[in-house]
Amino acid sequence: MLRVVDAPAAIAARGFPSAVSLIVPLDIMDNSRPANSGRWQLTVADGQGTLDLVTTPPGTAGQSLTLGARGLAALYAGAPVSALRQAGLACGGSPADDAALDSAFTGTAYMLDAF
């Protein structure tokens, strides 16, 4: 099982396809690791990613994809956003953001809970 302990460091250390460029807002809720919780901006460009904490007043930011710790771990491992939605691990966001995240985190998910 995969657990993202330090979300910004994990995103910075993970490789991304060099042709993918995106900026997607994420709301992460992680009760066990409060440092991961908050409204974040995921930026991917030139094969690198950053996750920056956003301090916007409520109601001023656009619709964010909301993930818990399990959803973040599954996305990080390469699970498609549609699978996260079906499993109840993601909500909100937009179809365009889903497609962008799928292209950035593309890969064979190999750290899921099925053994």
pLDDT in tens, 18-66: 999 999 999 999 999 999 999 999 999 999 999 999 987 655 556 899 9
Query: In the sheet where 65-68 sits, what is the strand order?
Result: 48-53, 38-45, 22-29, 65-68, 90-92
Contacts of 41 (CB under 8 A, 6+ apart): 23, 24, 25, 26, 51, 52, 54
- Residue 11 is classified by DSSP as H
CATH topology classification for 7-102? Nonspecific Lipid-transfer Protein; Chain A (3.30.1050)
Is pTM, for the whole model, over 0.95? Answer: no
Domain boundaries, the chain: 7-102
Q: Where do the H-state alpha helices sit in the chain?
A: 7-13, 69-77, 81-86, 95-104
